[in-house]
Amino acid sequence: MTQLLPLALLTIPEVAKLLHVSGDTVRRQIREGDLPAVRIGVTPAGRPRYRVPSQAVQSRLGEYSPHGEPVAADPLEALRAAFAELSPTEREHLLTEAIAWAKAQRPEVSLEGRAPEPSADDLRARFAKRRQRFEQ
């Protein structure tokens, strides 16, 4: 028996954003059969409502590359191939910059002004009162 896997479906605005085109362009591509889609009904205005399989968008994005080169189907494989072309010094520099960037993206957590953690005795007392109310 064949097991069906859930299909990730995207809305027209999501597809338009990913492909860097307008929603009307996406609808036209669907109408012309250039982009596969599932019709799920109509809007209150009578316009067809579509969902596009994410795999179709991924394959569409994979067809094009900024340098006109074929793109690997697996993004991780493409990253490995690009990383392999770097010298050891360039790799280390790139990794250092990536780590610094990631650290800068992390929100800073401040513990100032925060109430201290309750002690075990405080917790027992608090839950004992609740337990008494629950048992009554």
Q: What is the mean pLDDT of each run of 10 residues along the chain (136 residues)?
A: 63 90 93 92 88 87 59 68 87 90 80 80 82 67
Q: Alpha-carbon distance 53 to 63, whole Å?
A: 16
Amino acid at 121: D
Contacts of 59 (CB under 8 A, 6+ apart): none
Closest to 40 (Cα-Cα) out of 52, 51, 26: 51
pTM of the model: 0.44
Cα-based angle 60, 63, 19 (whole degrees, multiple of 5): 40
